[in-house]
Amino acid sequence: MAAEASGAPLRRQPRQARSRARVEAILAAADRILTEEGYEALTMRRIAEEAGAPVGSIYQFYADKGAVVDALGRGYLEAFKTAIDELVERALAGELTDLVGTMVDVYAEVFRAQPGGRALWAGRHLSPELARADEASNALVADGLRRIVEHLTGGPGGEPVERAARMVVWAANAVLHEVFKGDGGPDPGAVDELKRMLRAYWEDLRGRLTPGH
């Protein structure tokens, strides 16, 4: 997960290959700590130990733990953005026969593939950096859903669609956090129940937004 790709501000830009590798190692170490030990274990000294680097070398690039968290959050958001953009493209091309089922599967896959990201979102109440990361991820997904719904219902839906998109994201987040919070594998039955719930909501919403539906 390159720092440049994440868009995170750095104290010093890594211009040489060795410096870029060091930044990659720092972020990879932080991701492993989040995944295996949780947010509260994430300290600059612990990151240095995991990365096999002097603490001072981390401070060359990141001012504090919050800056590392911001960088990680931006990297996780890139994965969300890619997945949602692809979903929007498929919807606009008329390739989705099961919008809700596909959306939930895509969302769940991003959750599954990013245990470090789940640790950040779950700890959103612990720091301003985590709260910003969580709000940004929610806004990203909600905007993608808004675009899809407006396309499928034939025009700008305004505040009702924006509100509905936020509701879907809040509901999906709550369920998927529960589904993936244990050490074992996710419960497919719970994911199926989420799909049933959101399909019912989508049918109601489409009926309200599409005259004659």
Asked if residue 64 belongs to a domain, the reply is no
50-109 pLDDT, tens digit each: 999 899 989 988 988 888 988 888 888 888 889 889 999 999 898 988 999 999 998 888
- Could you give the number of structural domains in the chain? 2
- Which carries the bigger pLDDT value, residue 122 or residue 205? 205
Q: Compute the distance between CA of residue 133 and CA of residue 138 in angstroms, rounded to an integer.
A: 9
Instruction: Give residue 212's pLDDT band: very low, low, confident or very high (50, 70, 90).
Output: low
147-185 pLDDT, tens digit each: 999 888 887 778 989 999 999 999 998 898 888 876 656
Evaluate if residue 2 carries a pLDDT over 50.
no
Residue that is last in its domain, among 59, 86, 104: 59
Are residues 79 and 178 both part of a single domain?
yes
Q: Residue 176 sits in a domain of what CATH number? A: 1.10.357
137-150 pLDDT, tens digit each: 889 889 999 999 98
Question: How much is the pLDDT for 135?
Answer: 85
Are residues 41 and 76 both part of a single domain?
no
Question: How much is the pLDDT for 44?
Answer: 95
Q: Domain of residue 80: give its range.
A: 69-209
Evaluate if residue 47 carries a pLDDT over 90.
yes
Asked if residue 176 belongs to a domain, the reply is yes
